[in-house]
Amino acid sequence: MTIRAGRRTAALALAPVALLALAACAERGARTPSAPPSAASLPGDAHALVLRVEYTGGFVTPSMLHARLPIVSVYADGRVITEGPVPAIYPGPALPNLQMQEVGQDAVQELLDRALAAGVAETSDLGTPPVADATFTRFTAVTADDTYVREVYALWESAEGGGLTAEQEGARERLSELLTSFTDQSAATEPYAPESVSAVVSPWSDPGDGLSQPEQPWPGPPLPGEAMGGLPDVTCVTATGGQAQAVLEAARSANAATPWTTGDGTRWSAVLRPLLPDETGCADLTD
């Protein structure tokens, strides 16, 4: 069963997560929802996704919309994967800085309980502030019995006088505090090593910045790949095994504006998206 509330929409940048410290203070700021689940056991599969927070929608390019990474993903075996800081350079790196830490199953259980206490499993109306082109923040919690998905529009942009009721403001505050607690700590992490990587592909066009971008031969699956989300000129391919390692290696000497070339001389723009443990291909990237 999947329970959805709210909706989706633009991207904000947040600090990396440190759930090891968060688990130690799991009761801080927690409030009891009106109707929490009676049980919140972890999924039986140790590799299953338990918690995810991500942005959806917003005023971004179609390629970035599909390649956007979750803010945090927590798995039943204790793995926590987040996007770490990236250099403030232009063009940016070809690959995101994915980081992983191990927190243990007991800590994951505490985090799941905290998310449910913050209202992720509730279905009350969260309101719609009068803000254009904001993101939806999507919270997903997976228990042994159910999957709960709650989405809230303009979580950060809403303000007093935005037409929200006291109940809506209270529910939003609990979710906002939950997300802040996921992003206001720091702890030791290590680089996440993906086994597969997708590329959201479109025809390369000169950004007009006056910079010369050396071409890079594309070492992955044949481009352009399969259509992506019904969008014109946006496709996707997924590299696995040796091809994935070749793409990751080539990306070290590329950047976000690199023209990737195929055998016929066509140049492509490829937004590289390492796949997370619960993802298998391009279908997982559609919003």
The residue with greater pLDDT, 182 or 132, is: 132
pLDDT of res. 161: 58
pLDDT of res. 185: 52
What digits encode the pLDDT tens for the residues 50-96? 999 999 988 778 888 889 999 999 999 999 999 988 888 999 999 99
Residue 218 lies in a domain: yes
| Residues 133 and 18 both lie in one domain | yes
Task: Evaluate if residue 111 carries a pLDDT over 80.
Answer: yes
Band of pLDDT at residue 261, cut at 50, 70 and 90:
very high
What mean pLDDT is predicted for residues 257-280? 97
Cβ neighbours of residue 163 closer than 8 Å, sequence gap 6 or more: 127, 129, 130
| Residues 161 and 234 both lie in one domain | no
| Residues 164 and 50 both lie in one domain | yes
CA 284 to chain centre: 11
CB distance 203 to 274 below 8 Å: no
- Spatial separation of the C-alpha atoms in residues 17 and 185, rounded to whole Å: 6
CB distance 218 to 254 below 8 Å: no
| Residues 173 and 42 both lie in one domain | yes
- Spatial separation of the C-alpha atoms in residues 285 and 178, rounded to whole Å: 25
CA 100 to chain centre: 14
The residue with greater pLDDT, 236 or 34, is: 236
Count of Cβ atoms closer than 10 Å to residue 51 Cβ: 24
The residue assigned the tokens 């803000």 is: 131
CB distance 66 to 287 below 8 Å: yes
Task: Evaluate if residue 1 carries a pLDDT over 90.
Answer: no
Peptide bond between residue 214 and the one before it cis (omega within 30 degrees of 0): no
What mean pLDDT is predicted for residues 232-256? 96
| Residues 148 and 278 both lie in one domain | no
Of the residues 135, 154, 183, which one is the last residue of a structural domain? 183
pLDDT of res. 184: 57
Cβ neighbours of residue 280 closer than 8 Å, sequence gap 6 or more: 196, 238
Of the residues 164, 183, 202, which one is the last residue of a structural domain? 183
The residue assigned the tokens 């800081």 is: 85
User: Domain tally for the chain?
Assistant: 2
What value does the mean pLDDT of the chain take? Answer: 85
Of the residues 183, 204, 232, which one is the last residue of a structural domain? 183
What digits encode the pLDDT tens for the residues 25-44? 433 333 334 455 656 899 99
Give CA separation, 225 vs 91, 165, 238, 282, 287, in Å.
25, 47, 9, 10, 18
pTM score, two decimals? 0.85
| Residues 160 and 239 both lie in one domain | no
Q: How many residues does the chain have?
A: 287
The residue with greater pLDDT, 83 or 2, is: 83
Residue 189 lies in a domain: no
Task: Evaluate if residue 23 carries a pLDDT over 80.
Answer: no
Give CA separation, 1 vs 8, 26, 145, 165, in Å.
20, 27, 8, 29
| Residues 105 and 7 both lie in one domain | yes
Band of pLDDT at residue 119, cut at 50, 70 and 90:
very high
Residue 188 lies in a domain: no
- Spatial separation of the C-alpha atoms in residues 229 and 222, rounded to whole Å: 19
What digits encode the pLDDT tens for the residues 199-228? 999 999 998 999 999 999 999 999 999 998
Residue 261 lies in a domain: yes
pLDDT of res. 157: 76
pLDDT of res. 131: 86
User: Looking at 131-135, 237-241, 255-259, which range is the least confident one?
Assistant: 131-135
| Residues 78 and 179 both lie in one domain | yes
Question: Which DSSP state fits 113?
Answer: H
| Residues 209 and 269 both lie in one domain | yes
- Spatial separation of the C-alpha atoms in residues 145 and 266, rounded to whole Å: 49
Residue 69 lies in a domain: yes
CATH number of the domain that 116 lies in? Answer: 3.30.1560
What digits encode the pLDDT tens for the residues 174-196? 999 998 887 655 578 899 999 99
What is the DSSP annotation of 43-107? PSSTTSEEEEEEEE-SSS-HHHHHHPPPSEEEETTSEEEEE------SSPBSS--EEEEE--HHH
| Residues 174 and 220 both lie in one domain | no
What mean pLDDT is predicted for residues 264-284? 96
Residue 178 lies in a domain: yes
Tokens for 90?
């232009």
- Residue 170 sits in which domain range? 2-183
Collapsing DSSP to helix, strand or coil, 159 comes out as coil
pLDDT of res. 37: 62
